Amino acid sequence: MSHNEILVISSFPPRKCGIATYSQDLIHALEDKFSGGFKVRVCALQNKDVYLDYPNKVNHVLKTWIKEDYIRLAETINLDKNIKIIYLQHEFGLYGGELGEHLVDLLERLNAPVITTFHTILAYPSPERKAVVQQITELSSQVIVMTKLSAEILKSAYQISGDKINVIPHGTHLIHPHKQVKREDVPFPENTILATFGLISEGKCIETAIEALPQVIDHFPSVLYLIIGKTHPEVLEYEGEKYREFLQEKVQELKIEKHVLFVNKYLSLPILLEYLERTDIYLFTSKDPEQAVSGTLAYAMSAGCPVISTPIPHALELLDGAGINFDFQNSKQLAEAAILMLSNPNMMADMRMNALHKISPTAWQNSAISHMELAKSVLQADKFEPNYRYPLISTEHVKRMTTEFGMLQFSKVAEPDITTGYTIDDNARALIALTKNFGLTGNFDDLHLINTYLEFILFCQRHDGTFLNYVTIEQEFSDQNKGENLEDANGRAIWALGEFLSLRHIISLHLQAKVEEAFQKSLPLINKLHSPRAIAFCIKGLYYHYQLKKDPETLELITKLADNLISKYRGVSNENWKWYEPYLTYANAVLPEAMLLAAKCTNSDLYKETAKESLDFLLSTTQVDGQFSVISNIGRHYEGQVKKKFGEQPIEIAYTVLALETFYDEYHDVNYLTQMRTAFNWFLGENHLHQIIYNPCTSGCYDGLEEYHVNLNQGAESTISYLLARLTLEKYD
């Protein structure tokens, strides 16, 4: 059976080097992020004739010191018609020949397109090195560099066209949020931790940090410097532990043995990330100004470490607000930077947050998206359309955001912000989502959460049947309830109660009676509603209740509310603007969905036609080149105006997915199902930044998609919105 293959040419584990680890992480990200019709294989680069126990993924080996082997490999690859594209990792020293020019023999003969990643770009190359880079670029369909500065150097120093250059930063790992622990429960509880990690070699210039320590220790006696990592295997082969012994002697000479710990191990990724999360300041001391990027620097920032670094291009681009740069081999500057940071806890807290925001676009998931988008653009003539792989359904962050009283409103990144209190909006949506999840999985852990959200809604109901929205962490109603129109919040509460009642097969009779009483108590407020969205939310709740009881009173209410929306529609719609208001704003998709649900109850062709007409209009406005771009929260979109871009929120996508499901179930038009999946893919990276909005590590959803960045906070609204959309897609996949 033939299939599409991506071939990665790179050093690869068990060979220990930074590029081997990089390629392994990239391949894992590609396979984790995408599915359907492709496989990733590896051609491992071997620099000496020894046996290495490669995984099954490695089906080619290139003996880099043998010139003829490059020609043999090209012939072998050309015979394999499954190989559609090749990712090649380049570093001077990886390939044979005086300057690695043997690689040219391979590239000249390959039929499949090659995308080459340059891990190092020398700013002032010799004519010979420059010529090799130019040849490699000429023989590649596209090239990748990891910093903007490297891209500029390629253009200016190597005269390479910008059309061929792509900046894809070094990937980083998302960090799983840990539960809050007391200081005494973590390693080295009494110490302030400075750390460096990676394969140890003279180029890391760790002595710069060691020489700075006495000055730092004078101000902060609890400082402990962790030097994490084994000696680079190729260094170990040629000179043994000479450099490590030199560092140990320097530590003894400075009499700081109690303040330095050598962790002489090759740590697994989870353990390494735990070390980095415990680190107060990460030190990067390379003395090589030509080093373009550092994976260790990126990994430290992904763990939220403030950084002190020498000014390599990677650090110059990333550390603005997230750390301090110092001159190469300048121990005095390093010490001053460390003292300044440790003396200012607020500065360090800001640096931690800035580090996370700076590095978030470089998550391996985003790197995989960028690599796949580039491959698709190169292979535009071929059929190569991998699908996004849907993450497993998880309620971890939902649980993290939920107290015994209810679901908290906001978070700081993935950490719940208890100061923001609760809303009925979030708890109503959470009740719907967790009830759906329980219906799907039967997980009894959901029942406690369901009861929590339900009790919160009942707590917010007043004697007259209306609901208040805002509750403080002290479980008191906030003054914010007095200054805002709460119609939409009341509509969401009625929707939640109605949909909850429709799932009677999974709730007890006692609970049904309790919710039915609250639902009936709320009905009088419906006659006072003016907000189109509040009306639509109520129609949804009444629809689900009507499926349960088929009572004429409910049908009468549905008809009255639907007529109200029809009146609004007739008042403003025209040939070019088929909508219920003179503008599009938030929660738009709920309006046509509510009209269709009303049509299903009343058998009204008018409702049904209006529903379809308005949804088609909305979709035509919120899709650009087959990709969803929902109405911005920056401002309303009026007829005749250019739609505002950016400021997209997860809740708009969720409402769109729910509406499309309703229309698909009614019309059985596969186009609605396709659009449902396209809308959901917005969470997975099919958006203008090509970045994930759902974080599979935290199980939280980011709060918004802006013009140049993603809002990393993972509040209740966004997380529940994602979960509602994900549960919907589960039924069709």
State pLDDT tens for residues 14-65: 998 889 999 999 999 999 999 877 899 999 999 887 888 999 999 999 999 9
287, 328 contact by CB (below 8 A): yes
Choice between 8 and 51, residue whose per-residue pLDDT is larger: 8
What is the pLDDT at residue 382? 63
For helices 509-522 and 487-502, angle between their N-to-C axes, nearest 10 degrees: 150
What is the pLDDT at residue 579? 97
What is the pLDDT at residue 38? 86
Rg (alpha carbons) of the chain, rounded to whole number: 29
Sign of the torsion formed by the C-alpha atoms of 594, 600, 606 and 610: positive
What is the pLDDT at residue 2? 53
Name, of 289-303, 351-365, 561-575, the range with top average pLDDT: 561-575
| DSSP secondary structure letters along 353-378 | HHHHHHHGGGBHHHHHHHHHHHHHHH
Q: How far apart are CA 500 and CA 60, in angstroms?
A: 56
What is the pLDDT at residue 12? 95
452: Cβ contacts below 8 Å, ≥ 6 apart: 402, 404, 405, 406, 407
Q: What is the mean pLDDT of residues 638-660?
A: 94
For helices 670-684 and 716-730, angle between their N-to-C axes, nearest 10 degrees: 140
Residue with tokens 């998880």: 394
Band (119; pLDDT cuts 50, 70, 90): very high
Residue 180 in this model has a pLDDT that exceeds 60: no
- 3-state SS string for 242-295: HHHHHHHHHHHHCCCHHHEEEECCCCCHHHHHHHHHHCCEEEECCCCCCCCCCH
Q: Domains along the chain?
A: 4-167 (3.40.50.2000), 183-362 (3.40.50.2000)
Q: How far apart are CA 152 and CA 75, in angstroms?
A: 35
For helices 552-572 and 590-602, angle between their N-to-C axes, nearest 10 degrees: 130
Centre a 10 Å sphere on the Cβ of residue 652 and count the other Cβ atoms it contains: 24
Q: How far apart are CA 321 and CA 312, in angstroms?
A: 16
Helical H runs in 685-715? none
493, 457 contact by CB (below 8 A): yes
What is the pLDDT at residue 178? 57
Give all strands of the β-sheet with 58-63 in edge-to-edge order: 58-63, 38-46, 4-10, 83-90, 114-118, 142-145, 165-167
Distance of CA 59 to the CA centre of its chain: 31
What is the pLDDT at residue 510? 76
292: Cβ contacts below 8 Å, ≥ 6 apart: 118, 119, 120, 121, 145, 146, 147, 149, 150, 312, 313, 314
- 3-state SS string for 305-355: CCEEECCCHHHHHHCCCCEEECCCCCHHHHHHHHHHHHCCHHHHHHHHHHH
504: Cβ contacts below 8 Å, ≥ 6 apart: 512, 548
Closest CA to 535 of 569, 498, 560, 556: 560
What is the pLDDT at residue 500? 92
Q: How far apart are CA 586 and CA 574, in angstroms?
A: 21
Q: Is 626 left (phi over 0), alpha (psi -120 to 50) or beta?
A: left
Classify residue 302 as exposed, middle or buried by CB count within 10 Å of its CB (0-12, 13-18, 19+): buried
Mean pLDDT of the chain: 92
494, 524 contact by CB (below 8 A): no
584, 621 contact by CB (below 8 A): yes
Residue 179 in this model has a pLDDT that exceeds 70: no
Size (the chain), residues: 733
473, 418 contact by CB (below 8 A): yes
Band (234; pLDDT cuts 50, 70, 90): confident
Lowest mean pLDDT among 182-196, 277-291, 546-560: 182-196
Q: How far apart are CA 460 and CA 466, in angstroms?
A: 8
CA angle 261, 311, 161 (to 5 degrees): 130
- Pair of tokens at residue 374: 């580039």
At 338-366, the pLDDT tens digits run 999 999 999 999 999 999 888 999 999 99
pTM above threshold 0.85: yes
Q: How far apart are CA 74 and CA 111, in angstroms?
A: 8
The DSSP symbol for 551 reads -
What is the pLDDT at residue 467? 97
Query: Quick one: what percent of the chain has pLDDT higher than 90?
Result: 78
3-class SS of residue 545 = helix
Sign of the torsion formed by the C-alpha atoms of 633, 634, 638 and 642: negative
- Pair of tokens at residue 51: 């046996």
Cis peptide bond upstream of 14, omega within 30: yes
Lowest mean pLDDT among 49-53, 77-81, 82-86, 399-403: 49-53
What is the pLDDT at residue 198? 87
What is the pLDDT at residue 349? 92
314, 290 contact by CB (below 8 A): no
Lowest mean pLDDT among 60-74, 313-327, 458-472: 313-327
Query: Quick one: what percent of the chain has pLDDT higher than 70?
Result: 97
